[in-house]
Amino acid sequence: MIKILAACGAGVNSSHQIKDALEQEMSNRGYDVQCDAVMVKDINEELLSKYDIFTPIAKTDLGFDPKIPVIDAGPILYRMPMMAQPVYDKVEKAIKEIKANNPGK
């Protein structure tokens, strides 16, 4: 299973929309993913170390360099397939790379 962390300012609306959209789309593409949603202010290196992919609503300065793929998921919120598709494709590409480097995932 691939673990994805979605984040937004309050951790209650946008990040949950991103979470739901990613779980649905990646499931439709045949991937087993679990996505959690949090407030950006709660993210630290220890928390991120438990995930495979980080999908914030926008580019965010966390004060450290994440060691996992970071994919801006904000365009998912526009609810326009043309804008969301590239985000889904980037997430899928990251999943494929993770699986290639960690066959047990």
CATH number of the CATH domain containing 51: 3.40.50.2300
Mean pLDDT taken over the chain: 93
If you average pLDDT over residues 11-32, what whole number do you get?
Answer: 92
Tokens of 11: 């951790």
User: Which range marks the domain in which residue 90 is found?
Assistant: 2-101
User: Is the pLDDT assigned to residue 15 strictly greater than 80?
Assistant: yes
Report field, pTM of the whole predicted structure over 0.85: yes
Dist. CA 50–CA 42, nearest whole Å: 14
User: How many domains is the chain partitioned into structurally?
Assistant: 1
- CA-based torsion, 93, 84, 25, 43: positive or negative: positive
Tokens of 76: 């998912």
